[in-house]
Amino acid sequence: MFQTIEYREKKRQISLLNGNKPPISPRGENHWNWKGGMSGHNRGQDTEFCKWRKAVFSKDDYTCQICGVRGKKLSGHHIKEWAKYPELRYDINNGQCLCYKCHMKLHGLTKKTA
C-alpha cells in the first residue's frame, strides 16, 4: 500500500502521543463483544465443570447428539446457556455431547475463535 507523507507523519505523531505503544484496544463495556461481564468462573480450571462434562459425555455414550459421530473431538454443550441459567450449570440434563463441528455450527461459528 502506498502511504502519503501526511499519513506517515500523522501515524508518527499518534505513536509519539502513545509513547510509541500501539493504540489501546477497547476493553470492558466498550469492547464490541461485551456480554455484560464475566460469570466469575473459568470453565477450563473448574473441577465441577470438568466432572459435568465427563458425565455428559458418558450419558450420551461419547456420541454427537446431532450427527451421530462417536469419539471424535467432543464438546459439552449447555442446552440452556451457562451465563443465563447459573442454577443449571452443573445439571447433567442441561448438557449434551456434540462433536466440535456441530457445536460450532450450532453457535453460528465456522472455525475456532477462542
Q: Is residue 39 in some structural domain?
A: no
Q: Is residue 88 in some structural domain?
A: yes
Rounded Cα distance between 97 and 102, Å, is 10
**pTM for the predicted model, two decimal places:** 0.60
The more confident residue out of 86 and 22 is 86
What's the pLDDT score for residue 67? 94
Q: Is residue 31 in some structural domain?
A: no
Rounded Cα distance between 59 and 12, Å, is 59
Tell me the residue type at 52.
W
The SS3 call for residue 86 is helix
Per-residue pLDDT tens for 71-113? 889 999 999 998 889 999 999 999 999 999 999 999 888 765 5
Q: Is residue 22 in some structural domain?
A: no
> C-alpha cell of 67?
450427527
Q: How many domains does the chain have?
A: 1
The SS3 call for residue 80 is coil
> Of 14-23, 24-33, 52-61, which has the strongest mean pLDDT?
52-61
What's the pLDDT score for residue 8? 75
Q: Which domain holds residue 99?
A: 62-114
User: CB-based burial of residue 114 (10 Å sphere; 0-12 exposed, 13-18 middle, 19+ buried)?
Assistant: exposed
The SS3 call for residue 43 is helix
Q: Is residue 33 in some structural domain?
A: no
Per-residue pLDDT tens for 62-71? 999 999 999 8
What's the pLDDT score for residue 114? 47
Per-residue pLDDT tens for 28-56? 777 767 766 655 566 667 789 999 999 99
Please give the mean pLDDT across all residues of the chain.
81
Q: Is residue 66 in some structural domain?
A: yes
Scanning the structure block, which residue is given the C-alpha cell 462417536? 70
Q: Is residue 90 in some structural domain?
A: yes
Query: Which parts of the chain fold into alpha helices (H)?
Result: 5-17, 47-59, 100-106
Q: Is residue 30 in some structural domain?
A: no
